[in-house]
Amino acid sequence: AIIPFFNGHEHIHKLLEDLPPDLPVILVDDQSDTPLGSVNRPNTIVYRNESKGYFTGAVNYGIRRCSTDVLVLNQDISLHGTAWLDVLTANREEYALIGERIKGMHPAFPNGYVHGVFQYMSREALDRVGLMDAENYPLWGASALWQWQVCRAGYKSLPLREIPGLT
């Protein structure tokens, strides 16, 4: 998992407790006012971004530091149980992008698009399509654009109205 982090000290430890201990986590501190430092969790590495990258830059920073599929998680969420992991396991062979669907309707995305609160990205698609566009979409929109890019490259996306256990 990759967790972009900024000044969320009061929430991050709960989220880390929610994750299975064998799930590797890359936490990217995106220039918090007080650096996060280390955390007491196995399989967790904390990096501090050299310069402010906002959501997309912090996610890309983490992606560059691993060679696996990634699950991007918002620092403020909670995950209860492991049904969310079952959804990923059941669908990751067929879909290159799986995650929580944006709320509401968007005319360019009649079936919705996956946004950065809970966003699985396959390594194969990352290697073929590339990282999200942090220059033009540092805060919002990069995940929608990345969905277009992976679908145009022949991959499938699965925007879900609900992720089991996600609050």
Residue 80, pLDDT score: 96
Strands, sheet with 157-160, edge to edge from the N-terminal-most edge strand: 44-48, 25-29, 2-5, 70-73, 114-121, 97-101, 157-160
Quick count: other Cβ atoms within 10 Å of Cβ 24?
A: 14
Residue 108, pLDDT score: 76
Which stretches of the chain score pLDDT less than 70?
Answer: none
What's at 101, amino acid-wise?
R
What are 60-69's pLDDT values in tens digits?
Answer: 999 999 999 9
Residue 110, pLDDT score: 76
CA distance 155 to 136: 23
Closest Cα partner for 66 from 85, 43, 82?
43
Closest Cα partner for 127 from 89, 167, 70, 86?
70
Rounded to the nearest 5 degrees, what angle is found at the Cα of 30, between the Cα atoms of 29 and 34? 65
